[in-house]
Structure 1
Amino acid sequence: MPDTPAPSEGRRPARLVVLVSGTGSNLQALLDASADPAYGAVVVAVGADRSGIEGLARAERAGVPTFVHRVKDYADRAEWDAALTASCREHSPDLVVSAGFMKLAGAPFLAEYAGRYVNTHPALLPSFPGMHGAADALAYGVKVTGATLFVVDAGVDTGPIVDQVAVRVEDDDDVVSLHERIKVAERTMLVDNVGRMAREGFTISDRKVRFGDL
């Protein structure tokens, strides 16, 4: 992936489009953080792959525009991906943030937002990629797992890593208790790092994500 500059200090707040599929707790954390002008970013739109979810309600209560594209409403995934890309484009985002968005974006979306689409995963990548990161880590018997913020590429949880946070696995953990603690750590990591990406800018080179306009 080539060097990818992003917004930095001294410019307008970075524009965030946030994609959700459920309750939107990570979205709410971003909305709360962006209420402070010093955060350096503002949520300008929220998109979803389902209607009637709490994530959309959170956006509407905050006065943030929303859009919904359900896969089943399109002839195929390519048509859905084109619609998702177009809706994001309407809001001119500097960053697109997957905040519990449960759909894989296609090649046109990834091309348009290359280096500017970030996601979180409930494990310390490259360990335990896929849909069941917390459960897989627990089943394997690791003593430490965590969460990863990464820049999305064409693979499954394979993009350049922005940051990681460790979470200790307790002897009495089940999947629910472990995942809940991971989500708390993940939320803080997401908000802190999206703010840094907005304020300081960042570059990506040789899979290394570095803050600052290098």
Structure 2
Amino acid sequence: MNGLRIAVFASGQGTNFQALVDAVRDQKLDVIIELLVCDKPSAPVVERAQRAGVDTFIFKPKDYPSREAYESEIAAELERRGVGLIVLAGYMRILTPVLVEPYYGRMINVHPSLLPAFPGVNGIGQAFEYGVKLTGVTVHYVDGGLDSGPIIAQRAVEVADEDTESSLAERIHETEQALLPWVVQQIANGRVRLDGRRVTIDFS
């Protein structure tokens, strides 16, 4: 174990969180999943974390006077635990500079489209309704904008004529669950370099 401690932020089902947990269990991902951060106490991802033995930081945003207030608590917890990488995996809240600034270059997000196309909510539905023949998955650094940070890796998914939005979504999610652990492993291995908006992965 190389000691890179990660925190996963999620708000819903937690399938990408589970993919990371499974990759660690199967020795395909050499990190420590230190913490799950979740803004919805009843979200299924919380139960996934409990089953996996991963600590949780669960909060209700309405209990705080501002986003900055709860992010300050989260930041303190991340620092206390020595978290070196934040992975946003279906976290449905806009982040403020309280987290973005200290973790820039150490915070990534997975998005279900080939950015910069179809950012924001429901990237799969946006792409399907637009009628594209090719969509996919992007893992990118978080810069405080709407899915606008430097792109680390992308994988394409073809849209078949017979696809429904549901069948397309299933393949997109499968691709997410493969790409995200792979990117985290490259970061853990020190292979990922960020230079302005350009990201390179060194396999030498």
TM-score, normalised to structure 2, is 0.93
Matching of residue 91 in structure 1 with residue 81 in structure 2: yes
Moved over 4 A (4+): none
Tell me if structure 2 keeps the 8 A contact 1:21–1:100. yes
Unaligned runs of 5+ in 2: none
Matching of residue 110 in structure 1 with residue 100 in structure 2: yes
Aligned to 1:3: none
SS in 1 for 2:81: coil
SS in 2 for 1:138: helix
The alignment-based identity, stated in percent, is 37
Are residues 177 and 36 of structure 1, via their aligned partners in 2, closer, same or farther at CA, if it must alter by over 3 Å? closer
| Alignment partner of 1:137 out of 111, 127, 133 | 127
Q: Distance in 1 between matches of 2:133 and 2:66?
A: 42
Tell me if structure 2 keeps the 8 A contact 1:31–1:42. no
Matching of residue 14 in structure 1 with residue 20 in structure 2: no
Q: CA deviation at 1:37?
A: 4.9
Alignment-mate amino acid for residue 194 of structure 1? V
CA displacement 1:7-55 (0-9 Å, x = unmatched):
xxxx833111111111211111111111255632120111101102221
Aligned to 1:177: 167
SS in 1 for 2:144: coil
| Alignment partner of 1:164 out of 130, 135, 154 | 154
Q: CA deviation at 1:183?
A: 0.8
Matching of residue 62 in structure 1 with residue 14 in structure 2: no
SS in 2 for 1:72: helix
CA displacement 1:127-185 (0-9 Å, x = unmatched):
11110211111121110000100000011010010100101111122222212211111
CA displacement 1:29-82 (0-9 Å, x = unmatched):
111111255632120111101102221111111211111122111112221222
Are residues 213 and 141 of structure 1, via their aligned partners in 2, closer, same or farther at CA, if it must alter by over 3 Å? closer
Deviates more, 1:133-142 or 1:84-93: 84-93
SS in 1 for 2:189: helix
Q: Distance in 1 between matches of 2:122 and 2:140?
A: 17
SS in 2 for 1:172: coil
Q: Distance in 1 between matches of 2:77 and 2:191?
A: 24
SS in 1 for 2:78: helix
Are residues 111 and 213 of structure 1, via their aligned partners in 2, closer, same or farther at CA, if it must alter by over 3 Å? farther
SS in 1 for 2:128: helix
Q: CA deviation at 1:98?
A: 0.8
Q: Distance in 2 between matches of 1:37 and 1:188?
A: 14
Q: CA deviation at 1:116?
A: 0.6
The alignment covers a number of residue pairs equal to 204
